[in-house]
């Protein structure tokens, strides 16, 4: 139980950190890879522990709202290039995993 709570808190912090990424101004290669790696980690954790997604969302409600807005912005505002398609792929995968795991997805 304690491990699950720590995981929920840590994922919440990771979502907060990533949610600060501004897709319109942070376009350097290093910034894109930083966000990609963070998104990949969130996707991996959500894929590994789908039963915790609902609790993670409830426990970190404000962070998940900002994080899901980031995912939507990535999908809708980033021009897909050789470097950026990884971001779009991870964002799409995360939203898909969350919607399947919770049978519900409220993005905005």
* 91 token code pair: 């964002």
DSSP designation for 52: G
What is the rounded CA–CA span in Å between residue 48 and residue 27?
A: 30
Greater confidence (106 vs 103) lies with: 103
pLDDT digits (tens, 9 = 90+) for 70-85: 999 999 998 888 888 8
pLDDT digits (tens, 9 = 90+) for 89-103: 999 999 999 988 877
Tell me, what's the pLDDT at 94?
A: 95
Tell me, what's the pLDDT at 67?
A: 94
Strands (E), the chain: none
Residue 86 · residue 36 · CB < 8 Å: yes
DSSP designation for 82: T
| CA triple 74-25-77, angle to 5 deg | 30
- Judged against a pLDDT cut of 80, whether residue 27 lies above it is answered with no
């Amino acid at each position: 139980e304690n491990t699950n709570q720590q995981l929920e808190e840590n994922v919440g912090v990771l979502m907060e950190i990533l949610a600060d990424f501004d897709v319109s101004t942070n376009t350097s290669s290093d910034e894109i890879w930083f966000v990609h790696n963070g998104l990949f980690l969130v996707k991996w954790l959500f894929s590994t522990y789908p039963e915790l997604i609902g609790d993670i969302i409830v426990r970190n409600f404000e962070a998940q709202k900002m994080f899901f807005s980031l995912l939507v912005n990535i999908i809708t505002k980033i021009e897909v290039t050789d470097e950026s398609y990884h971001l779009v792929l991870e964002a799409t995968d995360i939203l898909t995993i969350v919607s399947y795991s919770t049978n519900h997805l409220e993005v905005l």
